[in-house]
Amino acid sequence: MPHFDTNPTLYWLAVYVLCWGMIWLTVRSAVDKRVFLASAFLLLFLLRLPSIVFDSEINPDESQMITQALTLRSDPVYFRSVDGTTGGPLDSYFLIVPSLFGLPFDYITAHLTAFGLVALCLWFLFRTASLWFGEGAARLALTPMVFMLGLTQNGDFLHYNSELIALLLLSGSYYLYALVIRQPSPSLGRVALIGLLLGMVPFGKLQAVPLAAVVGLFVGLDLLTRPNLNVSAKAARIGVLVLGGITFPLVFVLLTWINSVYNDFVTFYIIGNFRYANDSNQLVSLLRLPIFFEKGSEFDWLVKLTGLIWLVGVVVALRRRIQANRSLWQVGGFVGVLLVATLIAITRTGSEYVHYLYFLTGPLFFLLAYGWQQLRLSNQMAQWFPIGVLSIYLLLFGIQAVQRYRQGIALNPYSSEGQGGWAVQQSPVSKEIRKYGRPGEKLAVWGWRCDYYVQTQMPQGVAENHTIRSTFAHPMRDDYQRRYVKDFKRSKPAVFVDAVGSQNLWMTDRNSQGHEIIGPLRQFVATNYHYAGLVNDTRIYVRNDRVAALK
């Protein structure tokens, strides 16, 4: 297995040189499209390789979703065995797929899967932009995306996160919409497929619903305003769009009803998420967008590059006095409304989690491609201009890396040098857990240390594998606490870990945040579990019968 230390200078220099070669491939129209795309995605893989082989969590959300996938493999009923809170069911189910090919439920698998999803999203966006703005403009838009998503060391863009499945579904729908508006008579199958993808989006991330609504709206408008289609043809296509859109939600809801978890679905996924950060001020959040972009590190450079190229492109287009036509609202209107919907979606909660910015990938790609298209249509733009722009953009990454190196900051924050192979490294707490529990047996962790599940390969014994919503003030805290106790009593995990303490994320005060804050849970644990001791400021309890069996 390849591994990287904190300063893989030679590797970094090699791939950085390849980035300069990528600029040459980008501006050379004679280079075959397949060669260009293969080179772009190979470069993206090489740039992200140090983080891919890092077998530990880059972001705590990764451990949460890996654990949920591990649990669903043995108990596939979502909302009974698993609740991903703000993440949708599809995020966890998709992580089961690599295990079908023999890959383990670990961080390398998650990072590799994240790379695959990002690459596929970019491929859909490239194909869409090629249809709308030309292949040359699409190449010039793809390359800075590859640089940003490859050279960044911001973990929010490198880990497996809950935005990626929804982003893939949306990117696929953008491409299908681009194909539909080029068809004189859109096929029923293609329109139905758009509806199916859009209907799946809420089960990847509820936050992405406004983006899906924009796609559905513009597909519907396009179908309704076609002069060559009669009323029955329009009605048939609108009908299959709606039918496709409701198919997946109806099937999913039916399955929740059959498995007696429908009420949990409504309570904890629909109501719970709509109440999430509901006290945020949308206007204030929108005004903070520049600060939000800066939190994305190199993403802020991409936003500025896109804004500059798009603005220059608009000026060039206005000087050429482009006449309004049907494609103006089909493409320009779509991208504009999609951008607005995306900005609203990522700022609604006011949380400013950097991985929310992933949803801007599509709008930024299209705006950047539009700007390059207008500049390419202008006879005044020489070939050196895109070379110069991309070179300056790439130089920013190089300058930043040199500055970090001189300041003693690691070039690679995700060192895999001491991993000792493919296996996930065991923490002292996990080693203690495995004295009493076995892989495949239920484990419950109070607090936010989902990595213990991954390290021990023990499925979660409660639906919510972190207990933020059962601990902090929240409109539905009582509901979460009642469910936690119900799940705990039902599964009776072999080991219970109260991770509140100095090693926990956000939950460090044992007096006010320990499991004892729930009276019925405190009583059940005291009656049925034996206190095994304190390890790394973490309390470990073992079920009484397991203690007796080990004596």
Residue type, 154: N
State the CB neighbour count (10 A cutoff) for residue 252: 18
Residue 380 has pLDDT above 70, yes or no: no
Instruction: Give the Cα separation of 208 and 308 in Å (integer).
Output: 27
Q: First CA to last CA across the chain, in angstroms?
A: 40
- Tokens read off for 167: 């982003």
What number is the average pLDDT over the span 14-32? 94
What band does 345 get if pLDDT is binned at 50, 70 and 90?
A: very high
The pLDDT value given to residue 245:
98
Secondary structure class of 357 (helix, strand, coil):
helix
Residue type, 436: Y
Partners of 446 in beta bridges:
498
The DSSP secondary structure of 246-258, one letter per residue, reads: HHHHHHHHHHHHH
Angle between helices 361-377 and 334-347 (to 10 degrees): 150
- Residue 279 has a pLDDT of 63
The amino acid occupying position 405 is Y
CA distances in angstroms from 213 to 32, 197, 209, 333, listed in the order given: 36, 11, 6, 14
pLDDT at site 233: 95
Let me know: does 317 contact 373? Beta carbons within 8 Å.
Answer: no
What pLDDT, on the 0 to 100 scale, is given for residue 192? Answer: 98
The rounded percent of the chain whose pLDDT value lies above 70 is 97
Locate 258 and state its tokens: 């059959």
pLDDT one-digit tens code per residue, 223-259: 999 999 999 999 999 999 999 999 999 999 999 999 9
Residue 136 to residue 227: CA distance in whole angstroms: 32
Instruction: Report yes or no: 334 and 211 within 8 Å, Cβ to Cβ.
Output: no
Structure tokens at 106: 């670990």
pLDDT at 327: 76
Q: In what order do the strands lie in the sheet with 529-535?
A: 443-446, 495-498, 538-543, 529-535
In order, the DSSP letters of 232-292 are HHHHHHHHHHHHHHHHHHHHHHHHHHHTT-HHHIIIIIIIHHHTTTTT--HHHHHHTHHHH
Residues forming beta bridges with residue 540, ordered by sequence position: 497, 533
Partners of 531 in the β-ladder: 541
Length of the chain: 551
Three-class SS of 500-534:
CCCCCCCCCCHHHHCHHHCHHHHHHHHHHEEEEEE
Predicted confidence (pLDDT) at residue 118 exceeds the cutoff of 90: yes
What type of residue sits at position 512?
S
3 state DSSP class of 460? strand
Query: Which residues are 497's β-sheet partners?
Result: 445, 540
- pLDDT for 192-231, tens place per residue? 999 999 999 999 999 999 999 999 999 999 999 999 999 9
Question: How far is the C-alpha of 150 from the C-alpha of 138, rounded, in Å?
Answer: 18
DSSP character for 330?
I
> Mean per-residue pLDDT for 544-551?
83
Closest by CA to 149, choosing from 8, 267, 28, 298, is 298
| Residue 352 CB coordination number (10 Å) | 18
Task: Note the pLDDT of residue 417.
Answer: 87
Is-contact 462 513, C-beta < 8 A?
A: no
pLDDT value of position 516:
97
How do beta strands 538-543 and 529-535 pair?
antiparallel
C-alpha–C-alpha distance, residues 282 and 440, integer Å: 44
Listed range (162-166, 315-319, 357-361) with the worst mean pLDDT = 315-319
Which pLDDT band, with edges at 50, 70 and 90, does 551 fall under?
Answer: low
- Of the pLDDT bands very low, low, confident and very high (cuts 50, 70, 90), residue 383 is confident
Phi–psi pair at 461, nearest 5 degrees: -95, 0
Nearest to 298 by CA among 382, 387, 395, 187: 395
Contact predicate 107/67, CB 8 Å: no
DSSP 61-125: HHHHHHHHHHHHHH---BTTTB--TTS-HHHHHHTTGGGGGT--SSHHHHHHHHHHHHHHHHHHH
Q: What is the pLDDT of residues 492-540, one digit of tens each?
A: 999 999 999 998 888 999 999 999 999 999 999 999 999 999 999 999 9
List CB contacts of 33: < 8 A, sequence separation 6 or more.
135
**DSSP, res 414:** S
> What is the torsional sign of CA 530, 533, 536, 538?
positive
Residue 373 DSSP SS3: helix
**What are the tens digits of pLDDT across the range 135-192?**
999 999 999 999 999 999 999 999 999 999 999 999 999 999 999 999 999 999 999 9
- The helix (run of H) or strand (run of E) holding residue 338 is helix 334-347
pLDDT exceeds 90 at position 408: no
pTM of the model: 0.95
pLDDT band at 323 (very low <50, low <70, confident <90, very high): low
